[in-house]
Amino acid sequence: MKYGFDNDKYLKIQSEHIKERISKFGDKLYLEFGGKLFDDFHASRVLPGFQPDSKLRMLMQLADCAEIVIVISAVDIEKNKVRGDLGITYDMDVLRLRDEFQNRGLMVGSVCITHYKGQQAADIFRAKLEKMNIKTYLHYTIEGYPSNIALIDSDDGYGKNDYIETTRPLVVVTAPGPGSGKMATCLSQLYHENKRGVKAGYAKFETFPIWNLPLKHPVNLAYEAATADLNDVNMIDPFHLEAYGKTTVNYNRDIEIFPVLNAIFEGIYGFNPYKSPTDMGVNMAGYCIFDDEACCEASRQEILRRYYAALDLLAEGKGSENEVDKIELLMRQAKITTNDRKVTVAAKERGQKSGVPTAAIELSDGTIITSETTSLFGTSAALLLNATKHLAGIDHSVKLIPSSMIEPIQNMKVSYLRGNNPRLHTDEVLVALAMLSKDDENCRRAIEQLPKLSGCQVHTTVMLSEVDKKIFKKLGVDVTSEPIRKKSKSL
Question: What is residue 245's predicted lDDT score, i.e. its pLDDT?
Answer: 96
Written as one letter, the residue type at 185 is T
One domain for residues 287 and 368: no
The more confidently predicted of residues 4 and 21 is: 4
Cβ 19 vs Cβ 65: under 8 Å = no
The more confidently predicted of residues 491 and 176 is: 176
The least confident of 26-40, 201-215, 351-365 is: 26-40
Query: At 204, which helix (H) or strand (E)?
Result: strand 200-205
Domain count, the chain: 2
One domain for residues 218 and 90: yes
Domain boundary among 275, 291, 307: 291
299, part of any domain: no
Question: What is residue 405's predicted lDDT score, i.e. its pLDDT?
Answer: 92
State the CATH number of the domain containing residue 240: 3.10.630.10
User: What does pLDDT average to over the chain?
Assistant: 92
One domain for residues 286 and 389: no
One domain for residues 165 and 264: yes
Nearest to 250 by CA among 283, 273, 294: 283
Interatomic CA distance for residues 449 and 426, integer angstroms: 15
One domain for residues 266 and 349: no
Interatomic CA distance for residues 149 and 158, integer angstroms: 10
Query: At 479, which helix (H) or strand (E)?
Result: strand 478-481
pTM of the model: 0.85
DSSP state of 48: B
The set of residues, in sequence order, having a beta carbon less than 8 Å from that of 341 and lying 6+ positions away, is 301, 304, 457, 459, 480
One domain for residues 282 and 361: no
Is a pLDDT exceeding 60 seen at residue 414? yes
The least confident of 37-46, 110-119, 286-295, 427-436 is: 37-46
303, part of any domain: no
Interatomic CA distance for residues 442 and 448, integer angstroms: 10
pLDDT tens column, 53-93:
888 888 888 888 899 999 999 999 999 998 877 789 999 99
- Beta strands at 200-205 and 28-33: parallel, antiparallel or unpaired: parallel
Is a pLDDT exceeding 70 seen at residue 315? yes
Backbone angles phi, psi at 92, to 5 degrees: -70, -30
Q: Is 8 exposed, middle or buried (0-12, 13-18, 19+ CB in 10 A)?
A: exposed
Interatomic CA distance for residues 347 and 138, integer angstroms: 49
Buried b (16+ CB within 10 A) or exposed e, 285-299: bbebbebeebbbbbb
Cβ 276 vs Cβ 239: under 8 Å = yes
Interatomic CA distance for residues 206 and 32, integer angstroms: 8
Question: What is residue 54's predicted lDDT score, i.e. its pLDDT?
Answer: 87
Question: What is residue 53's predicted lDDT score, i.e. its pLDDT?
Answer: 87
Angle (CA) 249-253-258 rounded to 5° is 85
Provide the percentage of residues in the chain whose pLDDT is more than 70. 98
Domain that holds residue 350: 341-490
The set of residues, in sequence order, having a beta carbon less than 8 Å from that of 239 and lying 6+ positions away, is 255, 258, 275, 276, 277, 278
Mean pLDDT of 417-429: 91
State the CATH number of the domain containing residue 397: 3.40.140.40
One domain for residues 261 and 393: no
Mean pLDDT of 390-399: 96
Interatomic CA distance for residues 385 and 442, integer angstroms: 11
Question: What is residue 491's predicted lDDT score, i.e. its pLDDT?
Answer: 32
One domain for residues 396 and 473: yes
Mean pLDDT of 259-263: 86
pLDDT tens column, 227-258:
998 888 999 999 999 999 999 999 898 898 89
Is a pLDDT exceeding 80 seen at residue 45? yes
The more confidently predicted of residues 53 and 46 is: 46
**DSSP codes, 459-478:** EESSPPPHHHHHHHHHHT-E
Residues in the chain: 491
Phi and psi based region of residue 355 (left: phi greater than 0; alpha: psi -120 to 50; beta: remaining): left
Is a pLDDT exceeding 80 seen at residue 476? yes
